[in-house]
Every structure is written in structure tokens, then in C-alpha cells.
Amino acid sequence: MVLVDLDELTNTNVPESIRLRQKLGKQIPEEGVDESKMLNELREIASLNNPHKTFIGMGFYDCIVPSVIVKNMLQNAGWTSPYTPYQPEIAQGRLESLLNFQTMISDLTGLPFANASLLDESTACAEAIALAVRVTKRRTILYDTGLHPQNIGVMATRSEPMDINFQPLDINEGNVNNKFGDNVAAIILQYPNTEGLIYEDLDLLIQYAHKEKILVIMVCDLLSLTLLRSAGDLGADIAVGSAQRFGLPLGYGGPHAGFMSVANLALARQMPGRIVGVSRDQQGNIAYRLTLQTREQHIRRDKATSNICTAQALPANISSMYAIYHGPNRLVYIAKMIHKATSFLSQKVGRNTQRCRKSEEPEIGTGSKVVTWKSQIKIFFGNWKEKNAGSRNSEFRLPLLILFFSTINHLFHSFY
């Protein structure tokens, strides 16, 4: 589209209904307005709005960001970077925090190798199917029709130039034990799906896929994994998703940290994004560095596993600190409360998604099968197995932890 001038651009894109009818200069007072009066006027304008609760979901859910994280990370310029550090000598604190993020993802998904974040869930899905095509040398991807629509859209867009045959798979049609085809690289599933449901016979579906040497990719809700069986426990090869629910505001869709974890080293060598590893310095002290870098664009250029050259380091660090702040038991409690509130709402609007036994223990309805809370709770963060593993870190301890990481960064920066 060729536009002659700025007016034509405005006429093309700005609706007539929202344009000012008079010149702006007439609305600006000759003398300035003090800050207090300005804020009062803005509050009066804002009071005309009629805000509503949104229950759309589909991968985006509001959460409460602890004030201690806001003050010590979001408002601390030492953490404000989307990049995974290239120079470990001056970034030991941020690298250690990103290692915590990787450990959290690995523990929740049940898969041993995780990266230090991707751009978001949708692009993580696209990276996962590209990984599957590289590893299997096949070019067909079967996607669950219960995926979030934005995930399907991004994968469809990425598939076309990569010559990937991107086909739907309706799991509810009873085709779990059907032959998928000889050229299928992977099946990608949403867990739970975009309607909040968990498919029956996931184990059986994954077994059939593996018999035909098809990789299984699971798009996971990170908070639900504090209660449900992990992707690794179900037999998935790759898990992807978003860490938005762990302390990240909605922000009109971002930025949020995507993640990916895989089942073995062969897949890890094809995984996109940075990976933080543990090494030792010349004095034999534990040190953190980026590992398996020969996969990456700044090393191999056109032979890299992905063209991703940045990450979401700040959101990833916030999510890891959110998990540290609450602790495992508190995260389980939050997930239970969200499910109870969701079940209450769905019942009131005429959709029953919860059934209870005599014990009054809430359950997740999955058709003819029911997944109970107690049998599915699985969450461990590293070696946190002592009695106080689930206790939430106090408002005093977490700032010290963040300050510790920041101090390491500043010390190394001054030395180098």
C-alpha cells in the first residue's frame, strides 16, 4: 500500500469516531496545572470507565505480583535486561537466578533439560515443532484442536515457509489408537486444553505415538503442574509453555517468559535458546556459564537450531523469584484456590466441571475419568525436601536473596 502523506495514513488507520473535532491548542490551559489537580482530573476521567472482569483465559491469567519482587527486581535497573548474559564473569548473579528458573521448569514439567526462557508460549510451540522436524526428518505435525488459538496461529504461520504439513487432530473423536501416518514428526497437545479440560487416555495416546517413533509435545500450564501429573510422567518428549502465571502481569499480552524442556540430551542439543550450566573457575569455585552454545546463532549463524538471539531474562527471573517467594506448598494452595473459584463460577453459569466424593475433595472432571488432587500433586524444587520446604520466604529473606545476586553482578563488573 502506497500512501502519499501523513494525513492519508491517519485517514486509513484512525476511525473518524475517535478523532478530535477541534484543535488541541484550545484545550491546553495557558497556565500549567499542578500535579495534584492533574491527577484528580485524570481520576475523574477514569471513573467514567466501567471495568469488567475478564474470564477469557486462553493462556493469560492475572496474578498478584509480590511487592518485594516489584521493588527489588522490576524497579531495580540491575535486573532490567531481556538478554541472557554472554559474559559470565560479570553476570554470576543473573546466571544463578536463571539457573533457578531452569530448575523450576525442569521440576514442574518432569523433564531433565530446560532452557533459560523463550519469547512466549506461542513461539515456544513453533520452536518445538521445528525441533521435532529437525530430529525426526519428517515434515507432518498433528496438532490438538484444543490448543489455544494463538498457538495454532503462530505455528501455522511458521509452518508454511518451512514446508511443514500442519494438520489438525481431534482427540475427542476416539482416534487415540489409530495409525497416525509414516511422515508424522510430532503430535502437539495442550495440557489442560483451551477449555480447561484434560483428555482421557493421554498415556495411551503417547504410547501409540512412540510406537510409530513420533515425538509428543505438551503445551503445559505451569501452575496446574503443581497439582497434575507432569509432562515427563505422562511420557512427553518436549514440554513448552509460558511462565506468565508465576508473578508476571498481563501487560496487554506480554512480555512473558516462554519455556521449553526436553527428555534427553539428544533433544537438548537441538533445543533453541540459552542454557545456563554449572562449571568451576580457575580456583575451583562453582561458577555459572552458558553451555552447549554451538547450537546458537551467535556461534553457528545459519546452522543454528533457531534464529532466537535474545530471551525473556527479566520475566524469567521474576518467575523464579515468585516460586522462591511462595514455596512449593503455597503454589499448590494457590492452584487449588483457583480451581475452586473456577468450579464455582462454571456451576453458576450452568457448566459443571467439578465432582466431589464423600471426602469433599475437589476433583478435575475428565470425561469418564477423574483426576483427584491428592494423587496428582507433584512438585519439588531442587533439593527442597526438608520439613519447611513449603513455607513462604519472608518479606525479609527474599530482598536479601535478590540483593545477594545483585551484589555479585556489581562486584564482578567492578573487577572486569
pLDDT at 368: 34
Mean pLDDT of 189-216: 91
Answer whether residue 248 is part of any domain. Answer: yes
- pLDDT tens digits along 354-405: 443 333 333 333 333 333 333 232 222 233 333 333 344 444 455 555 555 5
Residue 227 belongs to a domain:
yes
DSSP 261: E
- Model confidence at 69, pLDDT cuts 50, 70, 90, reads very high
Dist. CA 182–CA 409, nearest whole Å: 51
Q: Is the pLDDT of residue 104 over 50?
A: yes
Between vectors from CA 317 to CA 316 and to CA 323, what angle results, nearest 5°?
90
Cα separations in angstroms, 229 against 109, 286, 300, 327, 342: 9, 33, 37, 19, 20
* DSSP alpha helix (H) spans, 231-312: 231-234, 265-268, 297-300
Is 244 a member of any domain? yes
Question: What pLDDT score was predicted for residue 146?
Answer: 92
CATH number for position 299? 3.40.640.10
150: in domain: yes
Is 258 in contact with 235 (CB distance < 8 Å)? no
| Apex 396 CA angle, 395 and 398, nearest 5 | 75
Cβ-based neighbours of 406, under 8 Å, separated by 6 or more: 76, 78, 79, 93
The Cα-based distances of 377 to 57, 110, 189, 216, 329 in angstroms read 23, 12, 21, 22, 10
Checking if the pLDDT of 161 tops 70, the result is: yes
The Cα 215–Cα 270 span in angstroms is 14
Residue 239: burial class (beta carbons within 10 Å; 0-12, 13-18, 19+): buried
Q: Give the range of the structural domain holding residue 152, as residue numbers without chain letter.
A: 55-416
- Helix axes 121-136 and 149-159, enclosed angle (nearest 10): 40
Q: Residue 224's CB: how many other CB atoms inside 10 A? A: 20
Burial zone of 249 (CB within 10 Å; 0-12 exposed, 13-18 middle, 19+ buried): middle
Which residue type sits at 9? Answer: L
pLDDT at 393: 44
36: in domain: no
From CA 287, how far away is CA 268, in angstroms rounded? 21
The single-letter code of the amino acid at 221 is D
pLDDT at 352 over 90: no
CB 210 within 8 A of CB 216: yes
Cell 562453582, residue located: 286
Mean pLDDT of the chain: 81
According to DSSP, residue 386 is labeled S
And the C-alpha cell for 258? Answer: 516462554
Q: Are strands 184-191 and 215-221 parallel, antiparallel or unpaired?
A: parallel
d(CA 107, CA 114): 10
Of the candidate ranges 2-16, 88-102, 355-369, the one whose mean pLDDT is the lowest: 355-369
- pLDDT (tens digit, 9 = 90+) per residue, 307-326? 776 678 899 999 999 999 99
- Residue bearing the bigger pLDDT, 297 or 395: 297
> Strands across the sheet with 113-114, in order?
113-114, 258-262, 238-242, 215-221, 184-191, 140-144, 165-169
Q: Is 24 among the domain residues? A: no
Q: Does any domain span residue 4? A: no
Tell me the mean pLDDT in the region 125-132. 96
Residue 28: inside a domain = no
Which residues are 189's β-sheet partners? Answer: 218
Q: Phi and psi (nearest 5°) for 364? A: -100, 120
CB 204 within 8 A of CB 187: no
List, in sequence order, the alpha helices (H) in 269-416: 297-300, 313-348, 373-376, 397-415
Number of structural domains the chain divides into: 1
Please state, in angstroms and rounded to a whole number, the distance separating the CA atoms of residues 148 and 196: 10
- Residue given cell 489409530 in the structure block: 178
